[in-house]
Amino acid sequence: MMTLKQSRRLQSVLLGTLAWAIALLLFFPIFWMLLTSFKTEIDAFATPPQFIFTPTLENYLHIQERSDYFKFAWNSVTISFGATIIGLLLAVPAAYSMAFFETRLTKQTLLWMLSTKMLPAVGVLMPIYLMAKSLGLLDTRLGLIIIYTLINLPIMVWMVYTYFKDIPKDILEAARLDGATTLQEIVRVLLPISKGGLASTALLSLILCWNEAFWSLNLTSSNAAPLTALIASYSSPEGLFWAKLSAVSTLACAPILLFGWISQKQLVRGLSFGAVK
């Protein structure tokens, strides 16, 4: 017969094992990509897959010779940060008005905003392409910043709205009684309280912008092409390419993985902010 202490210990071990198993399962594709990037093309295609092989850096050297990695990376950084900053500047006032001055249409407005995410992107390719062409925004970073801002805005408004809803209205009322203007109320009171939530919203937007491929491939050619376009350039219809594709994918993922790793504390705190009341 197990004691309560033993039973709890067993439960904790089982849960820990399960958590590790899920974590390893989620991490495996990234691990495999990293491993493949150090293989030759023939090793990368081998069946059964090889775990033990002679590592090579030739794929990374090939990428360095053929492509201007830093140009693509700089475009990714500018576009992702640009779209995230503008997105936050729009999402915060929108969420503020919806969270603290709710009307009978607020819920419907929120649902309508989210419903725009359900439209397949290819459905609006032609009109957006024509608009971008007419406005001279094809192959420009500004064009992609505008598109990414609009794509991510519904999710950003929803997230910020959820965080704002958890903040007691009394705090804002107290600020108002002290003579704070709306801007002061938002900047001096609301934003400092919800900075964890805003950080996680910004991070999520950054990740979504960084990984977006459809619009970046369709609206850019050379000047504004981000890392997703660089990855696409290493896929080949004729010949073996998995190892090179893995190397370029590793290089493309590395900055955002590193950024996520550094800011994971903020991200976890922000994500659990709205969940625990």
Q: What residues contact 218, with CB distance under 8 A and at least 6 apart?
A: 125, 129
Which lies closer to another protein via its Cβ, residue 10 or residue 240? 240
Please, what's the b/e burial string for 162-177 (b: 16 or more CB within 10 A of its CB; e: otherwise)? bbbeebeeeebeebee
In the complex, what is the shortest distance from the CB of residue 188 to another protein, in angstroms, rounded to a whole number? Answer: 47
In the complex, what is the shortest distance from the CB of residue 73 to another protein, in angstroms, rounded to a whole number? Answer: 17
- To the nearest 10°, report the CA torsion of 251, 252, 256, 258: 0
CA distance 139 to 69: 17
CA distance 258 to 220: 26
In the complex, what is the shortest distance from the CB of residue 28 to another protein, in angstroms, rounded to a whole number? Answer: 20
Q: What is the CA radius of gyration of the chain?
A: 23
CA distance 85 to 87: 5
Which lies closer to another protein via its Cβ, residue 66 or residue 188? 66
Question: Considering only CA atoms, which of 69, 162, 70, 66 is closest in space to residue 114?
Answer: 162
Which lies closer to another protein via its Cβ, residue 45 or residue 100? 45
Which lies closer to another protein via its Cβ, residue 40 or residue 184? 40
Which lies closer to another protein via its Cβ, residue 64 or residue 221? 221
Which lies closer to another protein via its Cβ, residue 110 or residue 217? 217
Tell me the residue length of the chain. 277
In the complex, what is the shortest distance from the CB of residue 140 to another protein, in angstroms, rounded to a whole number? Answer: 11
In the complex, what is the shortest distance from the CB of residue 66 to another protein, in angstroms, rounded to a whole number? Answer: 7
Q: Give the residues lining the site for another protein (CB under 8 A).
A: 40-42, 45-47, 66, 125-126, 129-130, 133, 138-139, 217-218, 221-222, 225, 229, 232-241
In the complex, what is the shortest distance from the CB of residue 48 to another protein, in angstroms, rounded to a whole number? Answer: 10
In the complex, what is the shortest distance from the CB of residue 150 to another protein, in angstroms, rounded to a whole number? Answer: 19
Which lies closer to another protein via its Cβ, residue 15 or residue 213? 213
